[in-house]
Amino acid sequence: MIKIIVFHLLGVLQFGFGCYYDAMYVTIPSTSRTIAFSPFGGKLKYLTYLNALLQTAYFAISLVNDIIGTNEPSPAGKPLIRRVKDVMFSSLAFPLSIFVGTTFWGIYAVDRELILPRSLDAYFPLWLNHVMHTNIVVFSVIELVTSFRMYPSRKTALSLLGSFMLCYVIWIHVIYFHTGVWVYPILSVLNWPLRVMFYLFSLGLVCGLFVIGERMNEFVWGNEIQKTVKGSKKKSH
């Protein structure tokens, strides 16, 4: 139990400090010619930053649950904070963290200028890059294998995840039509049909990552899930 508390505390401190440092100290000069850097929207225009905020909130909720809630399998009567924790991780925190990490490093490997131009190295430190794009994946996987949870129904989870992604796509278009620049350089080299395909591919990928998380959870926690389901059925009778 102590190890879980320390792990969740480390998650809060790491991602919280990353968000703070990024907001306070990572400033792109207004004279930069890099396409993605209009001040409109601030840091909240980046999915990476939004995800880091989400991870901070998730690990904070997990830490509070460690103290006043429960991490044990339970067929019924789980505290509200435990139910929020389970749904938040399953529907958003896990698939988004894996999505951000895999898409960032995938595009980076092909052509880093499309996602994090070299001109930003002087402003965006390497350690912060790894906190935002590498550690989120590592911490999410560790969280999945060390803490039991019941996944919500796919309808509930995919509705939350799809709504979040739709809102973000709308948001980046609001920014584009307001400023004339795309949040991510890769969008500037795609025409509209390819952008739509890119959005659909991204939606399919993040939903697929949810299913992968669901399957991984079943593989790791299968026995506990079966006991919880059986306990729920007995209580209902």
* Residue 24 backbone dihedrals phi, psi, to 5 degrees: -90, -30
Instruction: Tell me the pLDDT tens digit for each residue of 43-67.
Output: 999 999 999 999 999 999 999 999 9
Tell me which long-range contacts 173-177 makes (C-beta under 8 A, separation of at least 24): 175/38, 175/40, 175/41, 175/45
| Per-residue confidence (pLDDT) for residue 35, from 0 to 100 | 43
| Per-residue confidence (pLDDT) for residue 74, from 0 to 100 | 63
| Per-residue confidence (pLDDT) for residue 184, from 0 to 100 | 87
Distance of CA 152 to the CA centre of its chain: 17
Residue 22 to residue 105: CA distance in whole angstroms: 19
Residue 119 to residue 161: CA distance in whole angstroms: 33
Tell me which long-range contacts 177-183 makes (C-beta under 8 A, separation of at least 24): 178/40, 179/38, 179/40, 181/35, 181/36, 181/37, 181/38, 182/35, 182/36, 183/36, 183/41, 183/45, 183/46
Mean pLDDT split into 10-residue runs, the chain, 237 residues: 93 97 86 57 93 98 91 71 94 97 94 86 93 97 94 95 96 92 88 95 96 96 82 58
| Per-residue confidence (pLDDT) for residue 36, from 0 to 100 | 47
| Per-residue confidence (pLDDT) for residue 40, from 0 to 100 | 81
Give the total number of structural domains in the chain.
1
Are 136 and 103 in contact, with CB atoms under 8 Å apart? Answer: no
Are 54 and 160 in contact, with CB atoms under 8 Å apart? Answer: no
Instruction: Tell me the pLDDT tens digit for each residue of 149-189.
Output: 989 999 999 999 999 999 999 999 999 999 888 888 889 88
For residue 27, give both structure tokens.
Answer: 């400033």
Residue 11 to residue 208: CA distance in whole angstroms: 25
| Per-residue confidence (pLDDT) for residue 12, from 0 to 100 | 97
The residue assigned the tokens 């529907």 is 91
Residue 229 to residue 77: CA distance in whole angstroms: 14
From the list 88, 86, 95, 93, the residue with the least C-alpha distance to 147 is: 86
Instruction: Provide the whole-model pTM.
Output: 0.91
For residue 187, give both structure tokens.
Answer: 């969008």
Residue 133 to residue 129: CA distance in whole angstroms: 6
Question: Amino acid identity, residue 116?
Answer: L
Residue 113 to residue 122: CA distance in whole angstroms: 15
Domain membership of residue 179 as a residue range: 2-236
